[in-house]
Structure 1
Amino acid sequence: MINTWLRENKIAAYLLTALRLYFGFAWLTAGWGKITGGFSAEGFLNGAIANPVVSHDVAVYPGYVSFLETFALPNVSLFNVLIPWGEFLVGLGLILGCLTTAATFFAVVMNFNFMLAGTISHNPTDVIMGVILLAAGYNAGRIGLDRWVIPFFRKLTGKQEVTAHKTA
């Protein structure tokens, strides 16, 4: 019932737009601050490796720490580009309502990576907002560019457009 309401209701579309704009502004400003402020992930990665999330003196996410040591840190210059531009583009997509589901997916993936590295902050709240937007699907971007972009992609790929029930 709640899923149908999230995915098809017009009132839900307006509420999701407000959530999407708030969430998008947070991502956009975080990314822009890093793009213009000379961001480097090296200190964060070194800190996450040196102080992993532990329980009873054992690393809770040893596979993630290994990923940071063996891939992320040696390729820090790649992450210095991916993180700020990823945050900025996620924010832009959410604000414009363009490819909203994809933007939300990448927002949730980034939030989980930040949490696995030991940063809590507002990340759990962001994951909850992201899950709500993901559950809403197309309705989250209906009041935005997805109104035209999604039908265009469906036509381009030859997939039949799915029409939502009209509910108040």
Structure 2
Amino acid sequence: MFNWLRTNVYAAGLMVILRFYLGYAWITGGWHKLTGGFDATGFLKGAVTKPVMDKATNELVYPTFTAFLENFALPNAKLFNVLIPLGEFLVGLGLVLGALTTAAAFFGVLMNFMFLFAGTVSTNPWMILLGVIVIAAGANAGKFGADYYILPYLRKLLRHRGDHGANPTLGGGKTRAHI
């Protein structure tokens, strides 16, 4: 199944539908926040004052995440007022266009987990599941999208950079092999 998802042309076609669905959800969420005067302060304060608690022990379920929210995110809420909507919008754009698809899906899954850790369930588990499927499909998820053009270029660029790193030059542009 995993191999089929990563290599099959029909799986790539299904990924287009999945990408569009997931991407549309991210784009609309991000766009509404970008244009609607989003302020993360209330959400962050709520996540700190009413964190996810273990009902049996009455202890924090995610103490380090709650500490992160309280000590970093809340004091820097203005930064998060930009990062969250912009991140959501860019994740959606990457998925819809099929541009850096697996990276977009990864960051979408990461944001969904952050929202879950903060105590918001909503559609996050569903979006995590779909995002993981896109990530599992790898490059095949963007085969019918901008990745068709972007990934070969990036591979060529990385190979070219790797060639220069493999032959350290000595003075005058000569490599050790030429001396």
Query: If the TM-score is normalised by the length of the shorter chain, which range does it land in?
Result: over 0.9
CA-CA distance at 1:50 after TM superposition:
0.5
Instruction: Quote the residue 1:151 is aligned against.
Output: 152
Aligned residues: 158
Instruction: Quote the residue 2:84 is aligned against.
Output: 83
Q: Which runs of 5+ in 2 are unaligned?
A: 161-179
Give the whole-Å Cα distance in 2 for the aligned partners of 1:11 and 1:153: 25
Identity among equivalent positions (%) equals 58
Matches within 5 A, 1:2-41: 2-41=1-40
Q: Which amino acid aligns with 1:115?
A: L
CA-CA distance at 1:132 after TM superposition:
0.4
CA-CA distance at 1:76 after TM superposition:
0.5
Q: Which runs of 5+ in 1 are unaligned?
A: 160-168
CA-CA distance at 1:8 after TM superposition:
0.1
Q: Which amino acid aligns with 1:33?
A: H
- TM-score (norm: length of structure 1): 0.93
Q: Which amino acid aligns with 1:154?
A: R
- After superposition, the C-alpha distances for 1:138-160 in whole angstroms (9 at most, x for unaligned) are 0000000000000000011117x
Greater than 4 Å deviation, 4+ residue runs = none
- Higher-Rg structure is 2
CA-CA distance at 1:58 after TM superposition:
1.1
- After superposition, the C-alpha distances for 1:75-110 in whole angstroms (9 at most, x for unaligned) are 101100000000000000000000001100100000
CA-CA distance at 1:59 after TM superposition:
1.0
Q: Which amino acid aligns with 1:13?
A: A
Q: Does 1:124 align with 2:125?
A: yes
Q: Which amino acid aligns with 2:23?
A: G
Instruction: Quote the residue 1:163 is aligned against.
Output: none
Query: What SS class does the counterpart of residue 158 from structure 1 fall into?
Result: helix
Indicate the structure whose relative CO is greater, using CA pairs within 8 Å and at least 6 residues apart: 1
Query: What SS class does the counterpart of residue 85 from structure 2 fall into?
Result: helix
Query: What SS class does the counterpart of residue 121 from structure 2 fall into?
Result: coil
Give the whole-Å Cα distance in 2 for the aligned partners of 1:38 and 1:121: 21
Instruction: Quote the residue 2:141 is aligned against.
Output: 140
Instruction: Quote the residue 1:45 is aligned against.
Output: 44
Give the whole-Å Cα distance in 2 for the aligned partners of 1:97 and 1:21: 9
- TM-score (norm: length of structure 2): 0.87
